[in-house]
A and B are shown apart, each in its own frame.
Chain A
Amino acid sequence: MTTDTIPSPDAAVDGFWASKRRTEKITRIVVTIVLVLGAITMMLPVIWMLSTSFKTRTDVFSVPPVWIPSPLHFENYPAAWTVSGMYAGEDWDFLGIPFHGITFTTYTLNTLTIAVLSCLGTTMTASLVAFAFARLRFPGRGPLFLLCLMTMMVPPQVTMIPTFILFKTWHMYDTFYPLILPAFLGGGAYNIFLMRQFFMSIPYEMDEAAKIDGCTNFGVFWRILLPLCKPALTTVSVFSFVYNWNDYLNPLIYLDSNSKKTLALGLKNFVSLYGQDYHLLMAASLLISIPIAVMFLIGQRYFIQGIATTGLK
């Protein structure tokens, strides 16, 4: 006798399971339909953006809109990138190499400089500070950590004016320093909190074993815990990079020369100068958003886990 199927003693139970399976199937279909409709709604603005970016100046305003323009005007992209007339005569330099004419290339290099350095500063110092809060015993640990959490409630606009005056008196107005230096001072409460939560989830026995083997506190941090924290480190660095890439208010306050501006400011200028050239605006906006979307797709597995860590524990 085989035991492939276990005959049910009661037909009613069979019926119950069959109807339950059917309800589940129907639910799944309904959920899929709703999700597809939702996803289309979410993606419609992006498709619209893409479609506009390939049109000519006159086609942009046609109603009803043409979704797939023919021909596709690929030349909008290089045109938007180098926008002629946009401070075309100004000179600038990057790492000492002189260039002529400001384009989005200028803004990209500026933004990359700020974002990469801030990212580096944040990951380094946030993890160091978080390690102290998570793993070391010292007088005042509880109150200091509470203080750190409380600063998350402070709107940045409160500290904005005095910080601006501070950096101005230090002759750092119109330089990248005000945008980079704070990142090297712990990277803000949120990142410290995120890293600390992650450290807390690693068993303490790791530290003890390493200490018995003669590891210093810094050794425990550097050689034992940090390599285990890759998801959290990825999350913090992606967040910090995206934050700096998108940041608008701080560069707006601190940067003045056209040659120092970031992508966010450059795009804003572009809007003020070419407000009706939506085909060029959309092309530029798309190009600026692509690095962020790519970073997200690469880091997504890690930082969804990272967010889960802070959101719950």
Chain B
Amino acid sequence: MTSAERKEAISAYVFLIPFFLWLVFIMGGPILAAFFLSFCKWDILTPIQFVGFDNYKEMFFNDPRFWKALGNTTYFTALSVLPGLVLSIVVALLMNQKVKGIGIFRTLFYLPSVVGAGVAVAVLWKWIFNADSGLLNYMISVLTQIPIADCPKWLASEAWSKPALVIMSLWGVGGSMIIYLAGLQGIPTTLYEAAEIDGANRWQQFWTVTLPGLSPVIFFQLIISIVGSFQIFTQVDVMTDGLGGPADSTLVMVLYIYQKAFKYYQMGYASALSWVLFIVIMLATWLQFKYSKWVYYEGELRK
């Protein structure tokens, strides 16, 4: 190493000091600590107690609420990610057309997703889902002539509470729409020209040029949105007043972790739950990488 190289390396490490501190105190350390805690019993006040695999045994064999929470989270993920994906691609395709006032449309579609993560929006949707006087049932009864009394009870019903969460999440498609739009604009126009010369119609162009060109972005978005929907919390906590009801039908993993840790002070059990969530998310991500042959990278040689 020359002295110039050494100087560069030293200044790099100095610049990285915040990152190292973060890695130790906010990320790496806590991950390991959570792993250790998951084998303990601890209520913060009394001394910590090592209990081996007891938390995990309890969770898998003796805790129906855990299975309920895992099931609910998976259900929500399965039902929200795919429709969200299709919808945001369709909207992005429309946004990519040369239409007057497209800037206004983009803003109108994107705005809800910006405000969307907050408590305010959860409060709004709680009101929209109100069974008797809410907007949704009113619209349904206007469009289908079904009397409001026969419409779904949404957040008050065990069967409809999760679909309600899905509908709310679809309102935020604008966020991924913007990313797909950027992806669409990155596909070289020469490919479309070539396809046109070969006589491909719009539909064929979509399947042979647009979709393969967009596939890396779809892959990225799929991973991000699955990770995100496994972590749903704020909306459920606000709309169900922290209970995950009715009858635990909206009890999701993070809400259950929160309840165990900060309502019952079972820090060990909550840590075990959080590690299971972590493993589920990693597994889902790993599976997507494993079956990612459908993703087409421009720079890559194809056999």
A residues near B (Cβ < 8 Å) are: 27-28, 31-32, 34-35, 38-39, 42-46, 48-49, 52, 60-65, 125, 128-129, 131-132, 136-139, 141, 144, 147-148, 151, 153-166, 168, 182, 184-186, 188, 192, 216-218, 221, 242-243, 245-246, 248-249, 252-253, 263-264, 267-268, 271-272, 278, 281-282, 284-286, 288-289, 292-293, 296-297, 300, 304, 307-308, 311-312
Main secondary structure of the interface of B (DSSP, over half): helix
Chain A binder among B50-58, B76-84, B102-110, B158-166: B102-110
Given contacts A161-B34, A282-B124, 13 further A-B contacts (CB under 8 A): A32-B100, A153-B281, A154-B278, A157-B274, A158-B275, A160-B261, A217-B11, A218-B11, A242-B114, A246-B234, A248-B234, A248-B237, A281-B127
Per the bound structure, the CA–CA distance linking A285 and B178 in Å amounts to 25
Q: Is the CB of B231 within 8 A of A156?
A: yes
B206 within 8 A of A: no
Q: Please, what's the 1-or-0 string for B82-125, where 1 marks a CB less than 8 Å from any CB in chain A?
A: 00000000010011011110000101111110110111110111
Q: B251 — which chain A residues lie within 8 A by C-beta?
A: none
Contact assessment for B278 and A155 in the assembled complex, using a CB-CB cutoff below 8 Å: yes
Contact string against A for B residues 122-140, beta-carbon threshold 8 Å, 1 for contact and 0 otherwise: 0111111010110100110
Q: Tell me the count of chain B residues lying within 8 A, CB to CB, of chain A.
A: 93
B241 at the interface (CB under 8 A from A): yes
- Select which of A31, A38, A42, A246 is within 8 A of B99 by beta carbon: A31
What separation, in Å, do the CA atoms of A97 and B44 have in the docked complex? 35
Interface residues of B (CB under 8 A from A): 5, 7-9, 11-13, 15-16, 18-19, 21-23, 25-27, 29-31, 33-34, 37, 44, 91, 94-95, 97-100, 105, 107-112, 114-115, 117-121, 123-128, 130, 132-133, 135, 138-139, 142, 148, 171, 174, 178-179, 182-183, 185-186, 217, 220, 227, 230-231, 233-234, 237-238, 241, 253-254, 257-258, 261-262, 267, 270-271, 274-275, 277-278, 281-282, 285
| A42-B22 in contact given A63-B133, A217-B11 (Cβ < 8 Å) | no
* Bound complex: CA A15 to CA B298 (Å): 36
B133 x A61 contact (CB < 8 A): yes
**Given A27-B97, A159-B27, A246-B117, are A45 and B125 neighbors across the interface (CB < 8 Å)?**
yes
- Residues A158 and B234 in contact, CB atoms below 8 Å apart: no
User: Nearest-CB distance from B188 to chain A (Å)?
Assistant: 13
Q: Total A-B pairs in contact (CB under 8 Å)? A: 266
Interchain nearest-CB distance for B206 vs A (Å): 13
| CB-based contact A311/B217 at 8 Å | yes
Question: Is B91 a contact of A264 with CB atoms below 8 Å?
Answer: no
Contact yes or no, B26 A248, CB < 8 A:
no
Contact across chains for A186 and B148 when beta carbons are under 8 A apart? no
Residue from B34, B123, B230, B234 in contact with A285 in the complex, judged by beta carbons closer than 8 Å: B123
By the criterion CB–CB under 8 Å, are B135 and A44 in contact?
Answer: yes
Contact B220 A185 (CB under 8 A): no
Cβ 8 A contact of B16, one of A43, A64, A129, A217: A129
Are A182 and B26 CB-contacts (below 8 A) given A158-B31, A268-B238? yes
Query: Given A49-B124, A186-B22, A285-B123 in contact, is the A61-B132 Cβ separation under 8 Å?
Result: yes
Q: Which of A39, A63, A155, A163 contacts B148 (CB 8 A)?
A: A63
Query: A155 to B182, Cβ gap below 8 A?
Result: no
B220 engages A45 (CB within 8 Å): no
**B91: A residues at CB distance < 8 A:** 38
Judge whether A185 and B18 touch: CB under 8 Å: yes
Of the residues B8, B19, B105, B138, contact of A148 by C-beta under 8 Å: B19
Interface contact A153-B274, CB-CB below 8 Å? no
Distance (whole angstroms) from the CB of A88 to the closest CB of chain B = 22
With contacts A158-B278, A248-B119 known, is A139 near B9, CB below 8 A? yes
**Are B270 and A161 in contact, CB atoms less than 8 angstroms apart?**
yes
Find the B residue at minimum CB distance from A63: B133
Chain B residues, CB < 8 A from A278: 127, 130
Least distance between B222 CB and chain A CB atoms (Å) = 13
Q: Do the beta carbons of B109 and A38 come within 8 Å of each other? A: yes
A45-B171, A138-B8, A139-B9 as given contacts; A159 in contact with B34, CB under 8 Å: yes
Task: Give CA–CA (A244, B107) in the complex, Å.
Answer: 22
Q: Check if A185 sits within 8 Å of B26, measured CB to CB.
A: yes
Contacts of B94 in A (CB 8 A): 31, 34-35, 38
